[in-house]
Every structure is written in C-alpha cells, then in structure tokens.
C-alpha cells in the first residue's frame, strides 16, 4: 500500500518540509560516498543504540551523556538504503506540508523533532537490550502522520496497491490501517524476541511517533492567518 498524493489543499509554502526532505536526501547521498566499514562505525556512533543509551543514562557506562543524547537527533537523518529513504520522503512529502501549513514553519520544525524524540524513546524503552543501531526519519514522520490523522481525517489519499490497483481512501482509514499494521508487527516481533538478534523495521518507533503526533497536535496551536494561495 503506497500513498501517491492527497487532496488536502495548502495555504502556504512548506519551506521546512522541503528543507527536511532535501537534508535527508543530502545526508543519504553522502552516506553513499563513505566506505562500508566507515559507514558502519558512523551508524553505531550516530544511530540510536538502545543498550548504549540505557547504560549511559543509568550510570552503567562512563561515556558522556552527549553520546546518548546526540544520536536521538542525528538518527532521524540517517537511512540504511535507497528504498528506506525514498519511502520515508514520499510519506513526508504527502503528509508533512499540510501539518506545516497548520502549525507554521518554526513550530512545525519543533513538532517534528519532538515527535521524533518520542519515537526514539519508545524504541529504546521497548528494546533495551538491543545493541543494533536504529536509523531513519520514519519515527518523526509517523508523528506527522498522527497529526494529519487528527487534523484531516476526511482528506482523500490516492493509494497504489502494486501492481495495478489505484483508488482513493479517506485519510483516517489509510493512516489507521498503517498504525494497526505497525502495532501488530511490533507486538509479534516482541513476542518472538527477534529484535535483539536481527535487524529490521523499528515498529515501536513508528507506534510511539504516531501516538506522540496524536497527542501533541492537540497541544500545539494553529498558526494565525491561514489563507489560500493568491488571496489577500
């Protein structure tokens, strides 16, 4: 199930959303220029490693607190593959502009980072023994999707089911389905306990980010003076 576009209009240019997309793509192309061994070391240092973060915060590691805090931010802008970054940027492109339009530019950036941190915290708490680095913008983007779910539930989203099916569904249905799939996948993974030995999708980061978006969008105020393009 791949969303292609929505029909919710914007009343401002989403400069911050454009910036986030360009930044993520720029960092990914830089990753491609780095050797495999160097990149693995970089991911370990700047990705979220739950075991390391827990050890630092509980005083069981002599590493500085910054080594646990900085990756919570940097991991949001790192990706493991082209499909990883392309999928994330597609979702951000479709849903982020309207949330930025609602919040305003700087508030949207703060909101994005806040829900991204909530997603990382959820992943850490539910995978405390994992020594694998987790990277990607999907936790923060899940928060944006949670906000969209609250703000524009009746917007229509064009969905592509490969290879040929195309149809429109209401946003609440598409986003609700996405959340349920991630929640069930996270639960199944936790029961199987494969998250401590294998790499894969950080489902609980998605769940945590989405729930944070649902909650925080009710706290952040709508920006004043929202007008359609070309009106005064």
**For the chain, which residues make up each domain, given as ranges?**
2-216
In the predicted structure, residue 35 carries a pLDDT above the cut 80: yes
CB 108, CB 100: distance < 8 Å: yes
Q: What count of residues does the chain have?
A: 232
The CATH class given to the 2-216 domain equals mainly alpha
* Closest to 145 in 3D by CA, of 48, 28, 8: 8
Lowest mean pLDDT among 14-23, 64-73, 206-215: 64-73
Tokens of 205: 């980061």
In the predicted structure, residue 16 carries a pLDDT above the cut 60: yes
The model's pLDDT over 48-78, given as tens digits with 9 standing for 90+, comes to 999 989 988 887 777 777 888 999 999 999 9
* Closest to 77 in 3D by CA, of 23, 120, 143, 139: 23
pTM reported for the whole predicted model: 0.90
The three-state DSSP-derived secondary structure of 53-74 is HHHHHCCCCCCCCHHHHHHHHH
Cα–Cα dist 3/136, whole Å? 19
* H/E stretch holding 94: helix 82-103
* Closest to 150 in 3D by CA, of 128, 190, 179, 121: 179
Lowest mean pLDDT among 65-69, 102-106, 113-117: 65-69
């Amino acid at each position: 199930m791949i969303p292609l576009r929505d029909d919710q209009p914007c009343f401002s240019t989403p400069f911050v959303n454009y910036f986030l997309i360009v930044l993520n793509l720029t960092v990914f192309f830089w990753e491609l220029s780095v050797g495999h061994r160097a990149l693995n070391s970089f991911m370990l240092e700047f990705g979220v490693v739950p075991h390391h973060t827990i050890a630092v915060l509980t005083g069981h590691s002599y590493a500085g607190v910054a080594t646990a805090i900085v990756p919570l931010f940097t991991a949001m802008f790192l990706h493991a593959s082209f499909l990883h970054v392309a999928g994330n940027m597609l979702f951000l492109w479709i849903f982020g502009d309207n949330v930025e339009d609602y919040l305003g530019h700087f508030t949207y950036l703060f909101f994005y980072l806040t829900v991204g941190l909530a997603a990382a915290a959820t992943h850490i708490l539910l995978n405390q023994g994992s020594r694998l680095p987790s990277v990607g913008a999907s936790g923060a983007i899940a928060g944006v999707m949670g906000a969209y779910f609250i703000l524009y539930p009746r917007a229509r989203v064009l969905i592509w089911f490969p290879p040929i099916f195309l149809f429109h569904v209401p946003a609440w249905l598409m986003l609700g389905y996405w959340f349920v799939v991630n929640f069930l996948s996270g639960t199944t993974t936790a029961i199987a306990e494969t998250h401590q030995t294998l790499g894969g999708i950080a489902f609980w980061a998605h769940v945590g980010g989405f729930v944070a978006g649902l909650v925080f969008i009710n706290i952040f105020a709508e920006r004043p003076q929202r007008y359609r393009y070309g009106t005064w």
